[in-house]
Structure 1
């Protein structure tokens, strides 16, 4: 197995000891790793190298990680993004999840970061059911084309939002707990991560517009897709 067999990861982290440690663990797992230490260089590298995933510190000199992600998304680049942050308040976590796919709060386990990157890439590779189309009321999700429409109008979803919706639509009427969704969609299970599920469900509902009612909260349990 060569170093680049799993693809290139862009790591943008200004704390060099953390960058060196993360690069070591990602490289050991078979990824190629390109490192930048400021936001401006990070954005340029993302545009130039087209990595399979980005790991972005939020607090960067020159340009914050969230701004890097915002600019990439505005250009139609939906490369999976994991944010690293020392900020532990809810506003920053929600901002990160609205733009990216996952986040870790410092200090973090480099092994957990590698596991989350792997999970993101598995989801980005597409579901095993090929071109299956799921329909619920005016909502249609085409796995093969990675397309979601409401009354025929296409929606723009992040990879994680798409996978969350696909997971719920896979078994309409079935109530999933937050822990089940975290394990099934994000690839890991931790009670501390269930807020991630709530934020993404809220984002999906906001984008569904008139079909938002199809994603229903079951109080004290979790979520279901039900007409």
Structure 2
């Protein structure tokens, strides 16, 4: 996870930051990582199904607002969007994380394992972050904190997109990326490029990059 924070921030520092802030990132990364791990454990213990990410979106929105980030909620039901406005002119870059969990009963035995249950397709099911979205949200919250504290050096803006219902909205409901677009997200904000990331089973310390769209 620490690699994910570094890479997402490094992607931005390459073109949007003054060079000396890369050193600040190295200095702040360890302490920031402690927060990210705590957030991730909390989100993992409190998973929510698609279009039901109420606690998660509130946690995200409260965090962004505490950093002074312009924040919008209720996009595509539970989506959250934040805009970090840089101190210098430049492009708008978007970073995206998905928030929803899966109808899976957790049996990991972890100290922060989920015991949550919910109704899914008429059945009572366990709910678990079995696809890494808890990590995605926590990482982007960490990136948001670092960038917000250093926004005066940003050469452009950073759009933070916390997307609901990536796993698919409930039957009869809209949701997810499609609804965010339908509600005019990219008409209001016009990023030149968007970056997403997904945790995987690659060896620790490795990051794989692919241009264009990709499935997780």
Shorter chain as denominator, the TM-score bin is: under 0.3
TM-score normalized by the length of structure 2: 0.27
Q: Of Structure 1 and Structure 2, which has the larger fraction of its residues in helix? A: 1
TM-score normalized by the length of structure 1: 0.26
